[in-house]
Structure 1
Amino acid sequence: MPAANVEVLIVGGGPVGLTARALLERWGVRAMLVEKRRELSPFPRSRLVNVRSMEILRQLGLATPIAARAFAPEYGRIRFRDTLRDRDFATATMVGINAPIPESPVIGVITSQDRLEPTLLTAPGAPMRFEVEFIDLAEDTDGVTALLVDHHSGADTHVRARYVLAADGANSTVRQRLGIDTTGPGAIGDVTTVVFDADLRRWCADQPAGLYVTAHGSFLPLYPEGGWAWCGPTPEDAARIDWRDLVSRALGPGLNGKVDVLRVQHWVANAFVAERFRHGRILLSGDAAHAVPIVGGLGMNTGIADVHNLCWKLAGVLHGWAEPNLLETYETERQPVADETLRQAVANAQLMLQAQNRRREQLQSGAAAQAQIELPWSERYFAQLGLVLGVTYRSDAVYSEDDNPPGSSDIGTDYLPTTEPGRRMPHQWLTPDRSTLDAIGEWLTLLTPDPDHWKQQTTAPWPLHIELLTAEHADRFGLGPHGALLIRPDGHIGARWSDRSSGYSALPRALATITR
């Protein structure tokens, strides 16, 4: 691989790196993506693409093909059983996955990472170099020089980049080279995933779910056409385990046909947040910045939101309509989200354990095997719409004309749509098939019932798109006849004027504040 000069070097070709690749292409940034593996992951790994991630992927034109290869909405459910062959003793739906919600134009999906990644790779974007490993880097005032090794040819090369976006996983080489420490529990357990084929329709066809939690590990359907995975703690004698026998016993007696083990993967469950998300021109994202337990499906989705927040800022700096200081707001905005995500993911794991413990106590007390137990959370808990859609950014990239900061960034389970600065722009249908979120692109967007008033204030260099709001929609958003909402390219509200702005410099002042 010859030496190259790029604007952004992306390290890591998982879902987060692949999404960053597509976003940077959309914003006209010349990038390169390097991945040390020989190919995309053959393991199912991450399984849930939540509603916010699907909104982002809709912008990239990928939501439809991803949904086409995913499970039907009725699989957006968790079922608790003693063994897979037993009846449910508890069940919970995943809100935003199991059925459409009025708060979004899309629905989240259950799909395996080995189905998601190839679809992400079809998006226009930078070259992806497989078997190219990041080794080290040196940063100076103008950019970063990265040392890479091509494992196919054995050759070393140096790549010069203006910025490096690290999406190279929980064991991030980039983070380690920078000496960035982490906070949180750290490694919380060794886990094994066994991918296998078996005919389980007898027990599952009439009661579909994306996850079956049993006393002997969890079972996950992998693809609509078939395939399964078992996931559980790694046994101490893993090297001598007969995985076919283990899965067969976990399934329980009465299995029709045999179990064919296809792949076995051992991995470490991590729980941490990096102390810093930025080191000069190097920025951490995804598991490199935060690794969270898998319960609730929050990890990958948080990483996708990371790069959605970051890539428009990189584009603005590289294209000259934003100041380099804008990149400081990436950590300011995303690190609190990572902290809260880790807290809720740990809580998810504890709540699932509580459900299993209650069942164990019930059986020990002699209760009937088919008796139900009450789950220790509401039906809405695992969707966590407040965390998925209700994030509030509080930083210099959010403007308030009266110098009052945005409201509390506390994140709850439920989501209340609001046009408060810092919040995600609420979804409303502008036409039968066009959402307010569809008005947001690789530009700053001004939604207003009075475009003529605001057009008088527009100046270079900002890429600004002004769109008419009907009086009905303006009223829904609490805007007067001359009000406006300034939306950042990541869909979060940068500024709000309930009615006519104070003077003709209000919009340029807000734009300068958000992008400086």
Structure 2
Amino acid sequence: MNATQRVLVVGGGPVGLALAGELGWRDILCTLIEKGDGRVVQPKMDFVGVRTMEFCRRWGIVPWVHEAGYNRAYPQDCAWVSSLNGYEFGREVFAPLKDEPRLPQSTYSRGERCPQNFFDPVLSRFASSFPTVTIRRETELLRFEDDGTRVTARLKDLRSGAEDTVEAAYLVGCDGGASTVREALGIPMQGSPVLTYTTNCIFRCENLEALHDKKPGYRFIFIGPEGTWATMVAINGRDQWRFSLVGDDTRRQPGEAEMRAAIVKAVGREFDFEILSIMPWVRRQLVADGYGKGRVFIAGDAAHLTSPTGGFGMNMGIQDSVDLGWKLEAVLQGWGGPELLQSYEVERRPVAIRNVNEATGNLKRMLAPRDAKPSPAVFEPGPEGDQARKEFGDRYTEMMRREWYTPGIHLGFVYESSPVIVPDGTPPPPDEVSTYTQTARPGSRAPHVWLAEDRSTLDLFGRGFVLLVFGEGDAPALVEAAEGGGLPLTVHRIDNRAAAELYARHFVLVRPDGHVAWRSDQAPDASEAARIVSVVRGCGAGAMRQAAA
């Protein structure tokens, strides 16, 4: 396998590592470079959503995620308080991760707590397990050139200062919000560059739960007379916490003394704790105008920046990696057509716009008490205060519930108008947030159904295309067209009533990423089969032009 079959991934966070792992899993030559040394002192994410966990199941690394370091017996409640030794206004109760039931629509529960300092090593271990993947840390991208046939990148080893040149078929920038790849491509971002200036502080305290009278929880939101002013989440479910002092759009960087005082205020008493790191950051709402040019693409935070309220950012990036990964494999192996890589932006950018907007809505709901200040009675003792707290807490709890229950965001995104999807004329399903109804409409995630003990329909998808056949009959023309176009295709006959009802058609073609590409009750003839295969492998426009001629 020569260098012109290589994919160069720039950025070794979770999105870059997931892309390298996906490519390695597909036996594609990949080199990942990362400026840092791999250590994470300020985890930027901690929620691995249900769709990402489905991919982890496909990759065979779910046990690694479970064992990464988070205390899965720790309660996952979210509560809003004046302080940990003050008043509790409301609480959303969630079971510990080890006890959370699976969603009826998935092989997994709502998601997993695996902060970046735990999740990155898991993904690094996964990517490194493949002989086709090389990870070079403390290596910087200096510049690159795309000549239309290959990408030539100049790299610098930050330890030795030595420079070298790497050639690749494609380059993918997974290098974060300040992406040098996106800047080099000249791709602007649209949206709100500043939602809030926030400062995170990771601190350690043994048995913090003994220092207050509240039930344990994963996340606490602190609300005072001035409104919502801080949050605190469990980093490992044991002794480490991330405290976030949430500012506004005024730029400022609190020092250690101010952060220490704010943490004491939030807990509501003096106590001993160790500050491990402090990081100011800017909460943004931005989506790139494009997801690449020529042979260079961007993914993750390089393509979309979002408020973490909802936990959508990293999970969107993993979905970017999976979508782009199988398409790069197809093109490098010769069966992917010219429209396949173009479809990456068409499919993923609308999802980013949708999710980034939802996350900003979550932020506005969390900060709502700043605009509509709580009644002073909320902070007063006695029966009147109790009643005021109940009324305020009930309203806030109901409002925040939209953020806690989001299966529609994580599972319900649809690749509408994709050039590599064959529509069936059915109307799009409603775009839901708090609910999710499975559908096999083309462009949607193929539904999960248990076929046997611990074996799901989802377990059939990943390596290549899959044709599901429900009931009697075959589709020989489609199989023959796939062979002729080099499309990897496996046929599975499904004898399961629940699955047949959900998939709702006799024949359903599912892509490697688990999205439905085509479905019908009728087996296609040779001409129609050729058209279907041409479209789903990215040769649709050319095939249509030839047919018209």
TM-score under structure 1 length normalisation = 0.91
Q: Is the 8 A contact 2:85 2:214 kept in 1?
A: no
Q: In the alignment, which of 110, 116, 120 is matched to residue 117 of structure 1?
A: 120
Q: 2:545 corresponds to which residue?
A: none
Q: 1:167 corresponds to which residue?
A: 174
- Distance (Å, rounded) in 1 between the aligned partners of 2:200 and 2:436: 33
Question: What displacement does 1:241 show?
Answer: 3.2
Question: What displacement does 1:471 show?
Answer: 4.6
> 1:197 and 2:193 equivalent?
no
How far does the alpha carbon of each residue in 1:271-330 deviate from its partner, in whole angstroms, 9 at most, with x for none? 200000111111111000000011111111111111111111111011111113211111
**More displaced stretch, 27-36 vs 264-273:** 264-273
Q: 2:217 corresponds to which residue?
A: 209
- Distance (Å, rounded) in 1 between the aligned partners of 2:96 and 2:201: 28
- Distance (Å, rounded) in 1 between the aligned partners of 2:20 and 2:95: 29
Q: 1:142 corresponds to which residue?
A: 149
Q: 1:55 corresponds to which residue?
A: 54
Q: Is the 8 A contact 1:221 1:228 kept in 2?
A: yes
Question: What displacement does 1:151 show?
Answer: 0.4
Q: Is the 8 A contact 1:74 1:99 kept in 2?
A: no
Q: 2:79 corresponds to which residue?
A: 79
Question: What displacement does 1:25 show?
Answer: 0.8
Q: 1:472 corresponds to which residue?
A: 497
Q: 1:458 corresponds to which residue?
A: 479
Distance 1:95 1:478, change over 3 A: farther
Q: 2:385 corresponds to which residue?
A: 368
Q: 2:301 corresponds to which residue?
A: 287
Question: What displacement does 1:388 show?
Answer: 1.1
- Distance (Å, rounded) in 2 between the aligned partners of 1:364 and 1:96: 30
Q: 1:158 corresponds to which residue?
A: 165
Give aligned pairs, total. 507
How far does the alpha carbon of each residue in 1:188-224 deviate from its partner, in whole angstroms, 9 at most, with x for none? 3322111111231126797333211113511111113
Distance 1:120 1:80, change over 3 A: same
- The amino acid that maps onto 1:84 is L
Distance 1:95 1:319, change over 3 A: farther
What secondary structure sits across from 2:169 in the alignment?
Answer: strand
Q: In the alignment, which of 217, 223, 233 is matched to residue 236 of structure 2?
A: 223
How far does the alpha carbon of each residue in 1:163-203 deviate from its partner, in whole angstroms, 9 at most, with x for none? 11111000001111111101000133322111111231126
How far does the alpha carbon of each residue in 1:125-171 deviate from its partner, in whole angstroms, 9 at most, with x for none? 41111110112111111011112111011012211111111110000
Q: In the alignment, which of 259, 265, 276 is matched to residue 279 of structure 2?
A: 265
Q: Is the 8 A contact 1:192 1:233 kept in 2?
A: yes
- Distance (Å, rounded) in 1 between the aligned partners of 2:350 and 2:283: 21
- Distance (Å, rounded) in 2 between the aligned partners of 1:192 and 1:436: 43
**More displaced stretch, 145-154 vs 375-384:** 375-384
What secondary structure sits across from 1:122 in the alignment?
Answer: helix
Q: In the alignment, which of 401, 405, 411 is matched to residue 389 of structure 1?
A: 411
Distance 1:507 1:184, change over 3 A: same
Q: 2:462 corresponds to which residue?
A: 441
Distance 1:171 1:409, change over 3 A: farther
- Distance (Å, rounded) in 2 between the aligned partners of 1:96 and 1:486: 37
**More displaced stretch, 283-292 vs 377-386:** 377-386
Q: 1:487 corresponds to which residue?
A: 510
Distance 1:385 1:442, change over 3 A: same
Question: What displacement does 1:62 show?
Answer: 1.6
How far does the alpha carbon of each residue in 1:226-265 deviate from its partner, in whole angstroms, 9 at most, with x for none? 2112111368463473543432233212x5x411111112
- Distance (Å, rounded) in 1 between the aligned partners of 2:461 and 2:108: 15
**More displaced stretch, 85-94 vs 244-253:** 85-94
Question: What displacement does 1:91 show?
Answer: 2.3
- Distance (Å, rounded) in 2 between the aligned partners of 1:275 and 1:94: 38
- Distance (Å, rounded) in 1 between the aligned partners of 2:475 and 2:213: 56
Distance 1:258 1:476, change over 3 A: same
Q: Is the 8 A contact 2:202 2:240 kept in 1?
A: yes
**More displaced stretch, 215-224 vs 7-16:** 215-224
How far does the alpha carbon of each residue in 1:455-508 deviate from its partner, in whole angstroms, 9 at most, with x for none? 56413211111112005145323546xx111101111100011x2324245444
- Distance (Å, rounded) in 2 between the aligned partners of 1:168 and 1:47: 19
Question: What displacement does 1:67 show?
Answer: 2.4
Distance 1:96 1:200, change over 3 A: closer
What secondary structure sits across from 1:70 in the alignment?
Answer: coil
- Distance (Å, rounded) in 2 between the aligned partners of 1:345 and 1:29: 34
- Distance (Å, rounded) in 1 between the aligned partners of 2:279 and 2:103: 35
- Distance (Å, rounded) in 2 between the aligned partners of 1:475 and 1:501: 16
What secondary structure sits across from 1:127 in the alignment?
Answer: strand
Question: What displacement does 1:45 show?
Answer: 1.7
**More displaced stretch, 451-460 vs 120-129:** 451-460
Q: In the alignment, which of 312, 330, 334 is matched to residue 316 of structure 1?
A: 330
How far does the alpha carbon of each residue in 1:99-148 deviate from its partner, in whole angstroms, 9 at most, with x for none? 42101111211221101111111112411111101121111110111121
Q: Is the 8 A contact 2:145 2:153 kept in 1?
A: yes
> 1:515 and 2:508 equivalent?
no
Distance 1:478 1:244, change over 3 A: closer
What secondary structure sits across from 1:238 in the alignment?
Answer: coil
Q: 1:89 corresponds to which residue?
A: 89
- The amino acid that maps onto 2:72 is A
Q: 2:544 corresponds to which residue?
A: none
> 1:352 and 2:359 equivalent?
no
How far does the alpha carbon of each residue in 1:39-96 deviate from its partner, in whole angstroms, 9 at most, with x for none? 2322222011111111111111122221233343774432111112234312235799
Gaps of 5+ in 1: none
What secondary structure sits across from 1:241 in the alignment?
Answer: helix
Gaps of 5+ in 2: 224-228, 539-549
What secondary structure sits across from 1:183 in the alignment?
Answer: strand
- The amino acid that maps onto 1:446 is L
- The amino acid that maps onto 1:274 is A
Distance 1:471 1:413, change over 3 A: closer
- Distance (Å, rounded) in 2 between the aligned partners of 1:12 and 1:116: 15
- Distance (Å, rounded) in 2 between the aligned partners of 1:67 and 1:87: 34
TM-score under structure 2 length normalisation = 0.86
- Distance (Å, rounded) in 2 between the aligned partners of 1:100 and 1:282: 38
